[in-house]
Structure 1
């Protein structure tokens, strides 16, 4: 009997494994997906991985990027991080099939929490996991985002079980689910999940007041909060490190009140408003959710030989020229700078969502509809300024995240849930056939009407012109071809019409299957199977346009993504410790240089705020004194042939140097501005407001003083000094007070932040050994809290197990 009960779950898991591997079948040949962000990440993480392999311990710091920064948000393993073992166990498939499997499995658990029968639960899981946005993020390399999205349904399942009064099961699933969610290290997705849970809580709270069940709601809230706290506690090291670093990162508050040109700067906490809303969905673009290429698809699409663009180009440039331009046609006509692909949820599942609006009753529908609408409205960003500005200005942490369009992940989650609930009700015997027919007709009219309205709005109020259309105007001039842009616009209109008809057709097919079920011409199992096939065809046919076998390469090329150029090889011959400035690319958006060298640049969304400001205010202006103080010994630039070449900077200040004097200023503005003209070899500047007491910086320069770096080991740097008098030394290392400690002859000694980002120290006369050690207290403190949290969760499980076995025959309580 038990094996029969387990069979549906075994079938489900087998289907999820099969679907994940079949979609990403190149992994079966040992190939790996090429991901631009992950390629850059491999450059950023190479020094960390080397240290980890050599020392069998964690550095928590890297010197290879941005002249040095904490590794908390790059790659870090934390003590007592048992949730990592759970996650690794669940992600047993090759990447990215592992994340897809997690999508399916997590959503399937959510379906079980909603008491959905297993066949519909599988259908729902497939519709969620193959939602286009969830697939296309693999192509860009947003693995952490995919990872976080995958655990969202699991957390929701736990919370729903609590609201169903299955307290222990709900507590355990919520606690472990949230622990896994936070472990993924994508705070933005976790933050958006919080909104979804908050809306659910509000709906439950209102119902509790109406039904006079407030004491029960309070009890449920206490259980959920306790589980959340333990889930957070299990990630204490990670979260505490994130919070600590967040205050220093570009997500924190700048001390500057001036812009790079010296004008007054608008006071802000968090990211710049324009940066936050750079990727905002246009209101009309929302139709992409159920009409895939409503706005032309992704930024670049491949057009067929029958397209208008192909025909126009072929007349002048022949088939070769036509193939070239149609292989990378700029069909997207929205106003976002880059769009990998439309965030298509599916015409079939969206039709079922509408069916749910008319068929599903109660709190679940209220929650799912409210969360979906909330998600869509906030995704409009700058195109709905009133709401967006309110959230940026008044909602905690909202201004810490960019790309507001990605909040549509809530809709990606809620639409399939309501769609499956609609099918559950449709196949239920509790609802009459008359009600089902009425709901089916209303859904057809509402959803079909919305599709047609979208089509009419586009043709009535849009020119179908895109932000990159100057490219086609230039082609017209360069090749003397008339009507290139007009041809592209015609193709955009044709794509819209085709996909409108496609969505209408899929809607009608789905409605037809449901109608045939009502007329007893199809059995329920067959109807579910056919709809599942429709869902897969609908989503996978779109997904394959954007992520497919062409995105995979041999493991060797993925694992070693960068090949040393002649410039790199020349620099690598120098075995001293120094930094490299690669100006053949944007150094602040480049992880490749960190793969080979200690770079002044890097690739990370949360750089240190002060370093970003140093770049914008000084390095971007080619201030050589600042580059010298960072010990930039080599530059990589392009020669006339576009080849990378190395240039040695003989004026680099070195690893450490004594200065003649220290200039004390009263603000961050002054500290950064004085670098405009400061001779960094001779002088240093300190912001007085950061000194804990009155420090005397008067000293007599010793021209015979020497200092030498004798050991560099990422987290430990050792220098040897010899001076006849007390001196002040500047180190070409980034200052980070919550981790780096300085020792003179083994004795802890104060050091200061100088020159806006570097370290400085007073050195007594004589011969001394100076050590810098990265010793972040936050790691050990967080590790102890994590251990306590895991023990607490396990104790709850043990108590439940024995209490349940004794009192309820082992059933969940």
Structure 2
């Protein structure tokens, strides 16, 4: 096989260099100045992960459990490493050393580039499609928010589909190996929802290929291809068996899992799951980015209608500027949004071109993905469809924020668009170009001329005076029309370039380069307001977690306790977890029993406490559930005098004087609101039988997140309660070295029956889902690398044989 440098190497080298340069330039503070993106979600994650990371650094071991939020929970989805895991090294090598998380965008471009080449798209068009895929606003907004795992999971989709495509193109070993590598890395980033969507897309691809080709190819070759792909998927699962086993184990007990309160349903609540449902009309932001006003807080242009009316009302310049710089311009169906979902009007135009220009099989595959993903993203706005899937599609009720399905749309549009562009240039079908231009341009023109048909009313309008609402709606209308005109301009330029290419007036290279410049400029200018130089900082962690006088005051206490930070609340805290064991936290899949406690006990207790405290009555005896969670300090502000010590906190462990028997979870959580948790306990006798009360004392002697030691002195044997969260898998308890059953008491605390006398008690967390899977996992990872090497070898050998 002869290699032509100009044809076989140079275009690809240019493409890779362009991808690297685009990422390096756009994110130059990250790449060259050692700065990071200020990501709110990542900072909250840092707070939740601090205890486990500190433990790892100090001991070289994995804690696997953290008490830094929600009273305690497994650390599987927070911070967990596996000794010998090669995936981090693979990510670094494949992304050419670019820093995390922007390296994901580079890898996404490379993966999409190779995928498009496999569809016989020429390099210049493949470069264009790759940049459009990675730099859509959805990815940039996700980066700004801190959804790094989601970005990487989405940017691995092209590699995964590439593997499947190559297998169906008779490169079965190479295809299965690439599929295994892509899934290995996607599982590594642990974004289950994106992986779920990836399997849906893979299913669509395989189903369509089988339907189109089984008569021509026969069932045996089809089955062979699907079988070897299944082997690749199994290898990827094996290479992540530790992550998957711990996740599967935990999901049963999380808010995504089985019911606890008998009146509730398994999985997520529909209202919660479909809270972020994309509006059906909101999908037109793919064509017109500011169709629905951009983000929830978007700067208005100078001399906007809102600015003028604010001046007329006599507001001072600071107030006017404050409103204008963060105006509530978004009027869509979602609670709020960081910005529009926009992948480029030119890419949409080229995807529409596919209706007439793309090969039928490609059109059906990627057209089906586009339509299906849009329908999923509409959520409750297409309830007849999505509620059925939620109820019956296996595993689908574990996920929320269904607008995330738009990541599938933004993958399929560039693929269909570039394949269509390739066919247009080869076959010179002007009619296809005319039809696509008419449909796309006609829609945009309709919205320019008919913008007055919309009411421009949104949820953010509540509380605004009528005189301001009228002006704000005028600004929203102006944003739509202005944005539509810009899209029309880009579309016209792309249409003209394509037209003159088909007519032979412009070369294919000029067409590709011209469209590349247009798309890059379009996406760059749309993205820049949402992620720009103001988004980068040298060390946001130091600023965000700067120690306050209130925290300094609490740190004087070296005993074992939890804190409640009222400035953040129970379900949005992140700062308190950085230094303390917190009642609150930030996590999408907390333990279901703790969520029950929030819903049935903690929220109402806290509201009552705050109401009384505002009147000067600090009723610590009225927060019995907080007391049993050993909530010793309540933070109400940053100042040292904003810390309130709770004298009623139950401490690390205690011996109750009576036990209330219950026979259901609902009864137990109700009874918690009726008892003094220090003197009385609850036990579900249907699960754990009758338990005797005891007399004695118990003290915590040493603490680590995965190993706690106590000394008990019991004059009468009986139940002891530990202010630690009950989790039925992985925790073992020993009394003087002999294993003892851990009881669940007070709905979600641990209990032990301790005999009379003096005893040493230990709790240790070592789940088999981690300990028994970490070695096989590494073996599978190396098998994938060997398979990839073998796939490349046999493919080259086969190509040489054909030469």
Q: Identify the TM-score tier after normalising by the shorter chain.
A: over 0.9
1:598-609 equivalences in 2 (<5 Å): 598-609=581-592
* 1:208 maps to 2:218: no
Whole-angstrom CA distance in 1 between matches of 2:167 and 2:794: 18
Whole-angstrom CA distance in 1 between matches of 2:129 and 2:643: 55
Aligned partner of 2:48 among 40, 44, 51: 44
Deviations 1:555-604 (A, max 9, x none): 2x335521222211100000011111112221221111001111111111
Deviation (angstroms), 1:280: 0.9
Deviation (angstroms), 1:627: 1.0
Deviation (angstroms), 1:196: 1.0
For this pair of structures, how many residues does the alignment match? 781
Structure 1 unmatched runs, 5+: 258-264, 477-482
Whole-angstrom CA distance in 2 between matches of 1:628 and 1:69: 19
Deviation (angstroms), 1:663: 2.4
Whole-angstrom CA distance in 2 between matches of 1:49 and 1:344: 37
Tell me what 1:748 maps to.
Answer: 739
* 1:29 maps to 2:28: no
Which secondary structure does the structure 1 equivalent of 2:132 belong to? helix
Tell me what 2:178 maps to.
Answer: 173
> Residues 527, 797 of structure 1: CA spacing in aligned structure 2 closer, same or farther, 3 A cutoff?
closer
Tell me what 1:449 maps to.
Answer: 442
Deviations 1:685-732 (A, max 9, x none): 1112323xx4x5235x43xx2211110011110101122331321000
Whole-angstrom CA distance in 1 between matches of 2:739 and 2:431: 78
1:564-575 equivalences in 2 (<5 Å): 564-575=547-558
Is 2:260–2:592's contact at 8 Å kept on the other side of the alignment? no
Tell me what 1:182 maps to.
Answer: 187
Deviation (angstroms), 1:804: 6.6
Tell me what 2:285 maps to.
Answer: 288
Deviation (angstroms), 1:782: 2.2
Is 1:742–1:772's contact at 8 Å kept on the other side of the alignment? yes
Aligned partner of 2:571 among 578, 588, 598: 588
Whole-angstrom CA distance in 2 between matches of 1:39 and 1:749: 39
1:289-688 equivalences in 2 (<5 Å): 289-315=286-312, 316-317=314-315, 319-428=317-426, 431=427, 433=428, 436-455=429-448, 459-460=452-453, 462-473=454-465, 483-555=467-539, 557-558=540-541, 561-622=544-605, 623-638=622-637, 645-688=642-685
Deviation (angstroms), 1:372: 0.2
Deviation (angstroms), 1:79: 4.2
Is 1:733–1:758's contact at 8 Å kept on the other side of the alignment? yes
> Residues 539, 365 of structure 1: CA spacing in aligned structure 2 closer, same or farther, 3 A cutoff?
same
Normalised TM-score (structure 2):
0.94
* 1:698 maps to 2:692: yes
Tell me what 1:261 maps to.
Answer: none
Deviations 1:529-575 (A, max 9, x none): 011001111111101121111111122x3355212222111000000
Which stretch of structure 1 is more off in the superposition, 592-601 or 202-211? 202-211
> Residues 453, 199 of structure 1: CA spacing in aligned structure 2 closer, same or farther, 3 A cutoff?
farther
Tell me what 2:611 maps to.
Answer: none
Which secondary structure does the structure 1 equivalent of 2:760 belong to? strand
Is 1:801–1:810's contact at 8 Å kept on the other side of the alignment? no
Tell me what 2:255 maps to.
Answer: 250
Is 2:92–2:98's contact at 8 Å kept on the other side of the alignment? no
CA RMSD of aligned residues (A): 2.0
* 1:199 maps to 2:204: yes
Structure 2 unmatched runs, 5+: 606-621
1:59-70 equivalences in 2 (<5 Å): 59-70=63-74
1:157-172 equivalences in 2 (<5 Å): 157-172=162-177
> Residues 446, 799 of structure 1: CA spacing in aligned structure 2 closer, same or farther, 3 A cutoff?
closer
Deviations 1:210-267 (A, max 9, x none): 436222211111111111111111110101100111111110122213xxxxxxx4x4
Tell me what 2:122 maps to.
Answer: 117
> Residues 318, 765 of structure 1: CA spacing in aligned structure 2 closer, same or farther, 3 A cutoff?
closer
Whole-angstrom CA distance in 1 between matches of 2:543 and 2:195: 31
Whole-angstrom CA distance in 1 between matches of 2:710 and 2:472: 64
Is 1:376–1:411's contact at 8 Å kept on the other side of the alignment? yes
Deviation (angstroms), 1:206: 1.3
Normalised TM-score (structure 1):
0.93
> Residues 377, 78 of structure 1: CA spacing in aligned structure 2 closer, same or farther, 3 A cutoff?
same
Is 1:378–1:407's contact at 8 Å kept on the other side of the alignment? yes
Is 1:711–1:718's contact at 8 Å kept on the other side of the alignment? yes
Whole-angstrom CA distance in 2 between matches of 1:416 and 1:644: 57
Is 1:166–1:812's contact at 8 Å kept on the other side of the alignment? no
Is 2:174–2:792's contact at 8 Å kept on the other side of the alignment? no
Whole-angstrom CA distance in 1 between matches of 2:180 and 2:520: 32
Is 2:171–2:795's contact at 8 Å kept on the other side of the alignment? no
> Residues 810, 729 of structure 1: CA spacing in aligned structure 2 closer, same or farther, 3 A cutoff?
farther
> Residues 348, 32 of structure 1: CA spacing in aligned structure 2 closer, same or farther, 3 A cutoff?
same
> Residues 802, 372 of structure 1: CA spacing in aligned structure 2 closer, same or farther, 3 A cutoff?
closer
Is 1:284–1:454's contact at 8 Å kept on the other side of the alignment? no
> Residues 214, 458 of structure 1: CA spacing in aligned structure 2 closer, same or farther, 3 A cutoff?
farther
> Residues 86, 438 of structure 1: CA spacing in aligned structure 2 closer, same or farther, 3 A cutoff?
same
Is 2:692–2:718's contact at 8 Å kept on the other side of the alignment? no
Deviation (angstroms), 1:65: 0.9
Deviation (angstroms), 1:190: 0.7
